[in-house]
Amino acid sequence: MPALSRGRYKARIAENAADIRAAQELRGAAFLRTAPPGTLDRDTFDDVCAHFLIEDVNSGQLVCCFRLLPLTGGAEIGRSYSAQFYELSALSSFDGPMVELGRFCIRPGLKDPDIMRVAWGAMTRFVDARGIEMLFGCSSFQGADAQAHLDAFTMLAHRHIAPRRWLPRVKAPAVFRFSQKLGRRSPDAKQGMLRMPPLLRSYLVMGGWVSDHAVVDRQLDTLHVFTGLEIAAIPPARKRLLRAVAG
């Protein structure tokens, strides 16, 4: 896929081991916050994914990265990273190409919304080129204490739980069953959206949905939810915006 340049940022697919190592180093800075500088975040999924890099055209700095794992359909859902944490047999009947978005991160301290915009433009190109029908992955909240995220989880419980036919079931040993615990709590929609992780917020405005529970990751000090987005469900106006960025 050719590089995508918009404004001061450029998105491209990693071409060699050095590119992947740069992504792993950025992931280390984003996810392994107490580790020494330069620590790499890596796993076996790195060998089977396409890695995307978002770079500042002027400085050459890597500002964002993510990886994509294409699947021919739901029958391959067990190959995904997410399947380690969620029981996904309901999705095994999904009949269409899928792609798992993983390890999405923006360099700590950067707040430019154009970074996310270019990242979604690159994903849109990939989705359109491959005829992808579902995008999915894990969306993380910083901090494993659920009390810090109650407004966001309440909003998810009231408005964004997966359709029953696709609903992931519990597999991980430590989970926060927010749909069950917060179903009767009144959500503060404004605070909920403010506290929603940026990637998850993007999924939701396009019609995405989540699992009814969050997995507790004490090692990374995060809570994450399974997130799915059926491409056909994205509102037409939003699709036009994405494709305008994707060019």
Collapse the DSSP code of 98 into the 3-class scheme (helix H, G, I; strand E, B; otherwise coil) and give the result: strand
Ordered DSSP codes for 175-236: EE-HHHHHTTSPP-HHHHHHTS-HHHHHHHHTT-EE-SSEEEETTTTEEEEEEEEEGGGS-H
What gap in Å lies between CA 151 and CA 136, rounded to an integer?
A: 23
Q: pTM for the whole thing? A: 0.95
Q: Report domain extents, the chain.
A: 4-143+164-171+221-246
The partner residues of 229 in beta bridges, in order of sequence, read 135
Nearest-angstrom CA–CA distance, 139 and 222: 10
Q: pLDDT tens digits, residue range 161-171?
A: 999 999 999 99
d(CA 12, CA 122): 8
| Cβ contact 9:114 at 8 Å | yes
Tell me which architecture the domain covering 4-143+164-171+221-246 has in CATH.
Answer: 3-Layer(aba) Sandwich (3.40)
Model confidence pLDDT, tens digit, residues 184-202:
888 888 888 888 999 999 9
Q: What is the pLDDT of residues 188-243, one digit of tens each?
A: 888 888 889 999 999 999 999 999 999 999 988 999 999 999 999 999 999 999 99
Q: What is the pLDDT of residues 63-84, one digit of tens each?
A: 999 999 999 999 999 999 999 9
